[in-house]
Amino acid sequence: MVTSSSNPPGPPQRECFRKRPTLALAASFLLTLAGCGPTSQSQLPSMNPGTAAQAAVSFCDSSAANCTSGTSFAITSLRDLNVVVDWQNLQTGTHAQKISFILPGGELYQAFVKSFAVADGANGAVTTVEALPVAGTWITQRGLTGMWSVTLELDGQAIGTRTVQFTP
Amino acid sequence: MVSSMRVPGSLKRKLRAAGLLIAGLAVAARSTRANEMVVLQKTGANPQARAADSWIDQGSTGTNHGGSTTLQVTSSNGANQRALVEFDLSSISNSGIKLATLTLFMATAPSASRTYGAYRVTSRWIESGVTWASRLAGFAWGAAGGDVNGAATATTATGTTSNVSLNWTITADVQQWFGSASPIANYGTLIRDQTENSATVRTGIFSSMDNATQANRPSLTVNFVQNVQGVSSTAGNGQILLKWSYPAAIGTVLSATNGVLILREAGGALSSAIVPTDGTAYTRNAGCTNVIGAATIVFSSNSLPTTFNDSAAGDNADCPPANGTLYAYKVFAKDAANNYSASGASSQFVPLVAGTPNTTASGQLSVLWNVGTGSTTLAAPGIIPGTVAAIATSSNITYGVVPNSGNPVFTPVSTDAAITGRPPILPSASASIGANVIYTADANGFVYALNALTGDFLWSTNPTGLVANTFTAGPGVLVKGFASAAYTGTHDLVVLGTRNSGTTTGNRILGLDGNAGTMTWQLLGNSGGNPAMDIVVATPFVDYVNNAIWVTSNSAGGVAQPSLWKVNPNTGARLATANLGNISNAPYVSVAGETLFVGNDAGTLYAINTSNAATRASYAAGDTRVAGSAVVLNYSSPYTVVFSGATTVKAVIFNSTTNTFTTSGAGTWSIAMPGGCAPSEPLGYPGFAKIYVGCSDGTMYQIDIASGAIDKSKSLRPGSTLGDPTLDLTLSVLIVGSTSSRVYAISFPF
């Protein structure tokens, strides 16, 4: 059994707290697709124009040296597809990132949810890496090639979509 | 975000004493629209087997409070505390959620009113292991203090009065657990102060599920509309007949089910985003121009019919179905206030059936049922014939359904990560664990034994302690009761291989005790004299004849290291290996036991001597790859072996006396799949005259073994890729998943 002495006696003390903004709703997101061929950007509505969260997304072969980014990968030689998201200007606190991999026909293959924390002093910068298994999976077994879409969400808010090519 | 309300604890206790649950009354008072209501609360009568709660402490990041009788929420600079609570939703499966209210009894209020937020948790945690730092022992949160969706689902002010109940409306979260278009695993709710790091310590203390006063334990009040059940479709000439039944009430009835609404869409899709609006009455009109999205309203009733004959001569003179067209139907139950059995904006779990009318029986299609899985599902479901089909998904959710109706056997189970392999199931009569059991393994390296009738965890473990040691394939299970005396293990043995993509040499094969999940042995690549082992991505094969386990692996893209492993099930010792190039398919040993068949990723089929893993013969099939396990259709040599490639299905004959493949002439064939579609692993058994293949054109094909001709086909979902099928021979049902986030069942043979 655990109890808490939450209210120590004595005079009232001054409240000191860190302000916690309402995350996605209080931010605007700028998706920058860096290192992945032509750069595209999508600006989402902002409730706080002074805060512009940015996401730079790149793809790479997990087994390649330096994880060199690309936009097209042969599934016969691709072990995992790494999706690297460089977040900037995020609000301090815990965030949930969702990356969805959409088949060329528009059907959902798989989605990954990852939570991460943005610490004070990090300037809102966090890099996440999500790996889509490819070698030996249904992608290679059933030849699920073509132009896939990868959608990015943060805290339930759509950030943007990027495409990646899987070739036989 | 939804603000919620407080209920005085004194009133709550008085009403409880009168046999009434305050949470339920509160909800009923403000919502008479839902059909039924239940209050989920851990009691002697409702043990809430899958429920859990705890609190976590930033000031003591490694301390677990799972056994505490309280839940604490604190704002204190660098020493915040948060509460976690998760409910067992088993009793309300197969429902459209209308309202969900989380209630915590606050025994001690903070000294100043605070605002507490309820957040949807996004990672699995375990009551006995969760701490501020870790979600379960040895596995850190992604973000210390709990992985949550970024924004609170609901907030409520605490006030400063003790012994009151606080409520949070978390309807949106429960709806996502219960059938959003992309279902989310139920990992519960985290409660935290919205303004943490207070200089003055502010703590609210709540009763936990372990509190001696049952009435004060956390509760979740859910209002819902149950779906109809047992929906089936039978196609005929110019008609599709739908049948269904109504489930018994499982909660307090607020507004009885009084009818149904049926939507129809040509093409078989009927997106889960197409839902009726609560409070709105719908009817079919002349010409059937009344629609919801792309779906036509073909039937509505304010009585309780159990059939709908969609035909001109039946119940739909306005817009009967056309022969040769595939239609999908959804049957929504509704209450008197026209609340429908959808969950918010999604009808993912609303029964959906499909059918194609035609003038001939061969042109007709009757889909018995399909269920939404929230992601691509291509692994064959596991099955106990006549009892349950287990569908594991990449949505971190495992479903159990009745094979011939699709009705839930248990409420979906939330696992740690995606499951992409077939989950084997054993009936209690065979399983050493003494229960109907599903063994399954996920992409975070966890292995589970689930009760196949309740979905309860019998055990779960991460045998290597690493999330990098993922499992892509389902386990193989050596059943003690089927094994010879050569197997000396006490219980069934669960065998898996890791897919650690970070190494081409250090993967491993694991043998777990089927009763406890403890590791019996492991064979580690590049260690203890073993050669290097690349990723294992196929289910191990249990060879009862030779008392061996056969495991395939990749081989770093070449033939310099093994890709076929023969393992002693008693010790895990390596008995033999073969270097056959990358293999992503499970092997198959002939009934007689002398020959193993396996295809590699380069399209070569091998016949292997099971005594020493030496190659008896090989056949380069010339079709890019071998897709899935081969099917062997005879009990003894010569064997007819059927296997799939990238776009073909082939039958060859292997003679184990002469060690030769016959690839042309009588008894052999090769068929190109229509339109160059990519076939699944073939499904067939010795003695069958047909085999079944799902293809990437959304069609199930029946192939005559003697001639190699496709003699029947059923288009289930044009444009989608179908997975590996499975058969329930007791109920004559074929079940197959797809990339359309749905699993389909049709009658077999068709």
Report domain extents, chain A: 23-167
Size of interface A-B (CB pairs under 8 A): 185
**Among all chains, which residue has been given the structure tokens 């050596």?**
B478
Q: Is pLDDT of B263 > 80?
A: yes
CA distance B743 to B243: 20
- B372 touching A (Cβ < 8 Å): no
Confidence category of residue A51, pLDDT binned at 50, 70, 90? low
Token pair of B377 as six digits: 């599902």
Token pair of B440 as six digits: 């399954």
- The answer to whether B272 and B330 are in contact (CB under 8 A) is no
Q: Is pLDDT of B364 > 70?
A: yes
B499/A136 Cβ within 8 A: yes
CA distance B686 to B346: 43
Task: Tell me the residue type at A128.
Answer: T
Coil, helix or strand for B498?
Answer: coil
Pick A94's closest partner by Cβ from B70, B150, B535: B150
Distance from CA of B61 to the nearest CA of A (A): 15
Distance from CA of A166 to the nearest CA of B (A): 16
Q: Is the peptide bond prior to B749 cis by the omega test (within 30 degrees of 0)?
A: yes
- The confidence score (pLDDT) of residue B351 equals 83
* Strand boundaries in B286-396, DSSP class E: 291-292, 295-301, 307-310, 327-335, 352-356, 365-372, 382-384, 388-392
Confidence category of residue B748, pLDDT binned at 50, 70, 90? confident
Pick B418's closest partner by Cβ from A2, A110, A115: A110
Q: Each residue of B121-137: pLDDT tens digit?
A: 999 999 999 999 999 99
Scan residues 631-650 of B and list those with Cβ closer than 8 Å to A. 646
Across B42-56, b (16+ Cβ under 10 Å) vs e yields beeebebebbbbbbb
B147/A103 Cβ within 8 A: no
Q: Is pLDDT of A35 > 90?
A: no
Q: Which of A16, A118, A142 to mutate to test the interface with B (most CBs of B within 10 A)?
A: A142
CATH number of A23-167: 2.60.40.10
If you measure CA to CA, which chain A residue comes closest to B539? A136
- The confidence score (pLDDT) of residue A48 equals 35
Q: Each residue of A72-101: pLDDT tens digit?
A: 999 999 999 999 999 999 988 899 999 999
Q: Calculate the alpha carbon distances from B558 to B534, B583, B600, B615 in Å.
A: 11, 11, 11, 17
CA distance B492 to B485: 13
Burial of B747 (0-12, 13-18, 19+ CB in 10 A): middle
* Strand boundaries in B395-535, DSSP class E: 397-401, 408-414, 425-426, 437-441, 447-451, 457-461, 476-478, 493-497, 508-513, 519-524
If you measure CA to CA, which chain B residue comes closest to A2? B68
CATH class of B227-370: mainly beta
Pick A155's closest partner by Cβ from B147, B151, B624: B151
Q: What is the DSSP string of B175-240?
A: HHHTT-SS------EEEEESS---SS-EEEEEE-TT-S-GGGS-EEEEEEEEPPEEEEEEE-SS-E
B111/A7 Cβ within 8 A: yes
Domain boundaries, chain B: 2-224, 227-370
A96/B584 Cβ within 8 A: no
Average pLDDT over residues A141-163: 95
Contacts for A105-109: CB closer than 8 Å, 24+ residues apart = A105/B719, A105/B720, A105/B739, A106/A149, A107/B376, A107/B720, A107/B739, A107/B740, A107/B741, A108/B182, A108/B374, A108/B375, A108/B376, A108/B741, A109/A139, A109/A144, A109/A148, A109/B375, A109/B376, A109/B394, A109/B739
Q: Which of B115, B158, B184, B375 to mutate to test the interface with A (most CBs of A within 10 A)?
A: B375
Chain B residues within an 8 Å CB radius of A111: 182, 375, 394-395
Pick B501's closest partner by Cβ from A96, A109, A135: A135
β-pairing, B229-235 with B240-245?
antiparallel
Q: Each residue of B175-204: pLDDT tens digit?
A: 988 766 777 899 999 999 999 999 999 999
Exposure on the CB side of residue A68, measured as CA atoms within 13 A: 4
B143/A94 Cβ within 8 A: yes
CA distance B657 to B659: 6
B202/A155 Cβ within 8 A: no
CA distance A146 to A138: 14
β-pairing, A52-61 with A28-32?
parallel
- The answer to whether A13 and B77 are in contact (CB under 8 A) is no
CA distance B703 to B712: 7
- The answer to whether B310 and B237 are in contact (CB under 8 A) is no
